[in-house]
Amino acid sequence: MGDSCIPTVDLSPCFREDDEDGLKKAKEIIGQACSEYGFFQVVNHGVPLGLMTRAIELSKTFFETLPIEEKLKCAPNSGAPLPAGYNRQPDQSPDKNEYLLMFPPGSNLNVYPQNPPHFREVLEQIFAYFTRLGVLIESILSQCLGLPSTFLKEFNGDRSWDFMAALHYFPATEAENNGITEHEDGNCITFVFQDEAGGLEVRKNGEWIPVIPTRGSLVVNVGDVIQVLSNNNFKSATHRVVRPKSKSRYSYAFFYNLHGDKWVEPLQQFTKDIGEAPKYRGFRYKEYQELRMRNKTHPPSTPEDVIRITHYAVNTS
């Protein structure tokens, strides 16, 4: 399967003031990974291992032991940009999972389960850690792109559209094993951690590479917004989930997002300032999100009809 792993980055130098060499090495690895295929793993990232373990345990309890009637008590409210609360993929969807989605703690869009006890508390704690990590990674990406360290933070200072999902993938059958179809994420940066079942795969150099679960590590991938802003200097990672046989898969995904009203187009630093043509036309972020949601609610009949960021691509030939 070619190169069998994605790079691992030690972020501990980012939390110290006296390790310039370590920080330089981390930036080099991240910059290269983002320019080639958009995926890397991080360790010593500041999210407590005990909290990650507890989050998986409580997620298993929620999805495995509660009857569907109990889960549906936290069904989504209308009016949210995404369905916060409990949901499962429509029967006609090729994706086979159920999930619990939340926006930032304090959002009036959130619908929390009453059980298991302490689930809400753990969800809110880990959300806060991911938000802080997002600010750090955002700063590193800015520097890797040759921008001021605060550039992306100033561009993307509204955190109200960030969201996180606890996911449960049903065991594969003899007939099919799709968990989530091949795709790229539409947001800025995504963090993922998965249980020992694994199943996450990354497309690298045209081949699918399984991301082997490593205790305490987080998988990081760049999303479509960063690809567009950088005018394709950084790549939005193509990935999928393959469900294992005879066992469920549990994971968390945190989406460091962009406010829906934000206008997205290639930055002049990567176009006008260097004489390069924009590779995308501009768009309002929420309009793109709505198109992506329609992929889920009304799955196209052929893969070619799925809306991706190429919808906004400019033919420069």
Q: 3-state secondary structure string, 221-245?
A: EECHHHHHHCCCCCCCCCEEEECCE
Is pLDDT above 80 for 299?
no
Q: What value does the mean pLDDT take over residues 168-187?
A: 92
Nearest partner of 46 among 216, 220, 212, judged by Cα:
216
Q: Helix (H, G, I), strand (E, B), or coil: what is residue 46?
A: coil
Q: Is the pLDDT of residue 100 over 60?
A: yes
Q: Where does the pLDDT of residue 80 fall: very low under 50, low under 70, confident under 90, or very high at 90 and above?
A: confident
Give 261-289 pLDDT, tens digit per residue: 999 999 999 999 999 999 999 999 999 99
3-class DSSP state for residue 248? coil
H or E, element range at 143: helix 119-144
What is the pLDDT confidence band of residue 183, given thresholds at 50, 70 and 90?
Answer: very high
Lowest average pLDDT, out of 19-28, 73-82, 196-205, 251-260, goes to: 73-82
Q: How much is the pTM?
A: 0.94
Q: What percent of the chain has pLDDT over 90?
A: 79
Band (pLDDT 50/70/90 cuts) for residue 2 is very low
All domains in the chain, ordered by first residue: 8-219+231-260 (2.60.120.330)
Long-range pairs of 138-145 with CB within 8 A, sequence gap ≥ 24: 138/188, 138/189, 138/256, 140/14, 140/26, 140/27, 140/30, 141/30, 141/34, 141/189, 141/222, 141/226, 141/234, 143/27, 144/27, 144/30, 144/31, 144/34, 144/234, 145/230, 145/233, 145/234, 145/269, 145/270
Confidence of residue 1 (pLDDT cuts 50, 70, 90): very low
Mean pLDDT of 161-176: 94
Three-class secondary structure of residue 220 per DSSP: strand
How large is the average pLDDT for residues 71-75? 91
pLDDT score recorded for residue 89:
86
Which phi-psi region, left, alpha or beta, contains residue 199 (left: φ > 0; alpha: ψ -120 to 50)? Answer: left
pLDDT at 239 over 60: yes
Region 222-232: what's the mean pLDDT?
98
Q: Please, what is the average pLDDT of the chain? A: 92
